[in-house]
C-alpha cells in the first residue's frame, strides 16, 4: 500500500495533484523533495560549431519560429505543473543552443510565464547563455530588465585564429565587448573558455586566461576541448595538444585562477565567494530539475521513486507534440541499483565533497548502499572520509579528483 505522507508535510503538499502512477508503492523511501530547478532549452544557433554535440540547430536570423516555440514551452510547462505542484523554484537556466538569439521580448514573455505558473524563490538565480556573436548593448540590458540575473558568455578564446579554427561566429573584439558589458550590467556573470585547442601552446593559454581575468569575472567555466562523436571534428580531427601538455595547462589554469581569488569548486567551475552557480550546484548535489524545451532532460523525485524525463529532441517535432500536450518523448524510473552511481557521478565532481546524509536524502537509500565502494576508494587513496559536526562527509582526495573517472567507476 502507498505510504501516506504526514498531513501538511512538504511531500504531501507536493503530491496532492499527482497522477496515481507517480505515487505507486516502491522500494525507495524519500523524505522531503530536494530543491527544484528549471532548465529551458532554446535550440537554435547562427551556425553549428564543429566540436558541438549539443541539441543545437543552425538557423538564419529572422527565420527562428520564436513565437511558436514560446507557445510550445508554455504548453510543456502547463502539462508539467502537476509533477511539481507546490514546490518552489531555486534557479532557472536558459541554455542552448544560443538563447541570446531570442528577442528580449521573447525572454521577458518566457520568464513572466514561469513566474506566473511557478513560485520562484526570492532572489532566484536566472541564468541566460549568450554568444558574443549576438552581442548588442541594448539587447543585453533588455535581458537584464526581463529578469535575467546572471549572464553566461560562450567566449571560448580571445584569440582570433583560435576562434576561427573553432568555427565560432564571433571574434576577439566581440568577445571583449560582451565580457565588458556583462561586468557592467549583470550582478554576476560567467565566462566559458575552452583549452587544449588546436595549435594552442602554454603562452596562448595564459594570454586567454589573463584576458578573461582582467574582467574580474565572478565565475569562470574552463572546459578541456573534447572530440565528441558525430561532430565535424570527430570526422576530421584537428591536431590537439597531447595529454601531458593539456595536464600542464590545467595545472597552470588552477594556479592562475587561485591567485586571482577564484576557487575551483567543481571539475570545470571556478568562482569567487558567493558566486557559485546555484543551478549547476543543484545538478551536482543530485537535486531535482524540470526540463522544458526540445531535448530537455528532467529529474523529479517522488515519495517512492526518482523519475527521468526527456522531451522530443527535434525542434519541429517538439513544437508539434508539446502544443498537443505531449512534450515528453521518454520517461523512465531510475532503477534502485542505478541510484548510487548516478548520485556519485554528480557529487564526486564537487571539490569539497558532500555530507553522507545527502545521499540518503536524495536517493532514499541507506548509507550502507555505498559502503563497499567507499571502502575500496578510501583504500586506493581516491576518497577520504571526514567526521564533521554535521556528520560524516565524503571528499575526493587530490588524486581522486585528478583521476575522477577511476573514482566514479568504483560506484558502477
Ligand X SMILES: C[S@@+](CC[C@H](N)C(=O)[O-])C[C@H]1O[C@@H](n2cnc3c(N)ncnc32)[C@H](O)[C@@H]1O
Least CB distance to ligand SF4 at residue 154 (A): 5
148 binds ligand X (CB under 6 A): no
Answer whether 35's CB lies under 8 Å from 50's CB. no
The contact mask relative to ligand SF4 for 83-122 (x = CB under 6 A, - = no) is -------------xxx------------------------
Burial code (b: 16+ CB inside 10 Å, e: under 16) for 344-367 equals bbbbbbbeebbbbebbbbbbbbee
Binding segment toward ligand SF4, per CB under 6 A, in 52-60, 79-87, 311-319, 336-344: 52-60
295 binds ligand X (CB under 6 A): no
Q: Which residue is nearest to ligand X (CB)?
A: 154
Closer to ligand SF4 by Cβ: residue 78 or 171: 171
> In angstroms, rounded to a whole number, what is the distance separating the alpha carbons of residues 175 and 131?
9
CA 109 to chain CA centroid, Å, is: 22
> In angstroms, rounded to a whole number, what is the distance separating the alpha carbons of residues 59 and 45?
6
3-state SS class at 210:
helix
The angle, 0 to 180 degrees and rounded to 10, between the axes of the packed helices 172-185 and 137-145 is 30
Distance (Å) of CA 32 to CA 13, 80, 171: 10, 20, 48
Closer to ligand SF4 by Cβ: residue 37 or 131: 131
Number of residues that bind ligand X (CB under 6 A): 16
Burial class (CB within 10 angstroms; exposed 0-12, middle 13-18, buried 19+) of 405? exposed
Residues in 17-56 at the binding interface with ligand X, rule: CB under 6 A: 51-52, 54
Closer to ligand SF4 by Cβ: residue 38 or 45: 45
Binding segment toward ligand X, per CB under 6 A, in 143-151, 223-231, 357-365, 373-381: 223-231
Among 13, 18, 31, 54, binds ligand SF4 (CB under 6 A): 54
Residues in 122-151 at the binding interface with ligand SF4, rule: CB under 6 A: 131
Give the Cα-Cα-Cα angle 251, 253, 258 (nearest 5 degrees): 100
Give which of 269, 271, 286 is closest to 36, Cα–Cα: 286
194 binds ligand X (CB under 6 A): yes
Binding segment toward ligand X, per CB under 6 A, in 36-44, 95-103, 280-288, 337-345: 95-103
Q: Which residues bind ligand SF4 (CB under 6 A)?
A: 45, 48-49, 52, 54, 56, 96-98, 131, 154
Amino acid at each position: 500500500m502507498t505510504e501516506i505522507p504526514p498531513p501538511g508535510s512538504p511531500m504531501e503538499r507536493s503530491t496532492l495533484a499527482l497522477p496515481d502512477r507517480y505515487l505507486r508503492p516502491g522500494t525507495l523511501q524519500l523524505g522531503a523533495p530536494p530543491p527544484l530547478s528549471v532548465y529551458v532549452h532554446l535550440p537554435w544557433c547562427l551556425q553549428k560549431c564543429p566540436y558541438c554535440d549539443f541539441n543545437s540547430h543552425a538557423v538564419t536570423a529572422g527565420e527562428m519560429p520564436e513565437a511558436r516555440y514560446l507557445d510550445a514551452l508554455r504548453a510543456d510547462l502547463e502539462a508539467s505543473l502537476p509533477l511539481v505542484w507546490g514546490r518552489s523554484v531555486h534557479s532557472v537556466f536558459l541554455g542552448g543552443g544560443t538563447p541570446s538569439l531570442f528577442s528580449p521580448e521573447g525572454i521577458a514573455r518566457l520568464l513572466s510565464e514561469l513566474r506566473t505558473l511557478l513560485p520562484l524563490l526570492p532572489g532566484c538565480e536566472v541564468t541566460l547563455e549568450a554568444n558574443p556573436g549576438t552581442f548588442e548593448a541594448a539587447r543585453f540590458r533588455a535581458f537584464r530588465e526581463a529578469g535575467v540575473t546572471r549572464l553566461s558568455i560562450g567566449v571560448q578564446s580571445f584569440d582570433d585564429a583560435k576562434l576561427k579554427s573553432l568555427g565560432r561566429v564571433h571574434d576577439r573584439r566581440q568577445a571583449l565587448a560582451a565580457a565588458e558589458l556583462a561586468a557592467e550590467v549583470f550582478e554576476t556573470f560567467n565566462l566559458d573558455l575552452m583549452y587544449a585547442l588546436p595549435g594552442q601552446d602554454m603562452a596562448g593559454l595564459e594570454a586567454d586566461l589573463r584576458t578573461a581575468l582582467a574582467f574580474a569575472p565572478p565565475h569562470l567555466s574552463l572546459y578541456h576541448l573534447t572530440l565528441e562523436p558525430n561532430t565535424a571534428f570527430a570526422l576530421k580531427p584537428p591536431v590537439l595538444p597531447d595529454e601531458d601538455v593539456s595536464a600542464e595547462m590545467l595545472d597552470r589554469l588552477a594556479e592562475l585562477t587561485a591567485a586571482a581569488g577564484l576557487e575551483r569548486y567543481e571539475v570545470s567551475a571556478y568562482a569567487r565567494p558567493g558566486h557559485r552557480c546555484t543551478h549547476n550546484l543543484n545538478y551536482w548535489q543530485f537535486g531535482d530539475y524540470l526540463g522544458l524545451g526540445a531535448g530537455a532532460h528532467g529529474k523529479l523525485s517522488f515519495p517512492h521513486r526518482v523519475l527521468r524525463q526527456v522531451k522530443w529532441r527535434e525542434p519541429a517535432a517538439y513544437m508539434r507534440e508539446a502544443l498537443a500536450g505531449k512534450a515528453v518523448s521518454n520517461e523512465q524510473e531510475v532503477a534502485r541499483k542505478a541510484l548510487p552511481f548516478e548520485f556519485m557521478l554528480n557529487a564526486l565532481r564537487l571539490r569539497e565533497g558532500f555530507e553522507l546524509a545527502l545521499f540518503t536524502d536524495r536517493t532514499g537509500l541507506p548509507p550502507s548502499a555505498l559502503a563497499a565502494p567507499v571502502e575500496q576508494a578510501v583504500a586506493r587513496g581516491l576518497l577520504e572520509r571526514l567526521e564533521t559536526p554535521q556528520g560524516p562527509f565524503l571528499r575526493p582526495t587530490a588524486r581522486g579528483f585528478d583521476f575522477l573517472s577511476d573514482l566514479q567507476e568504483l560506484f558502477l
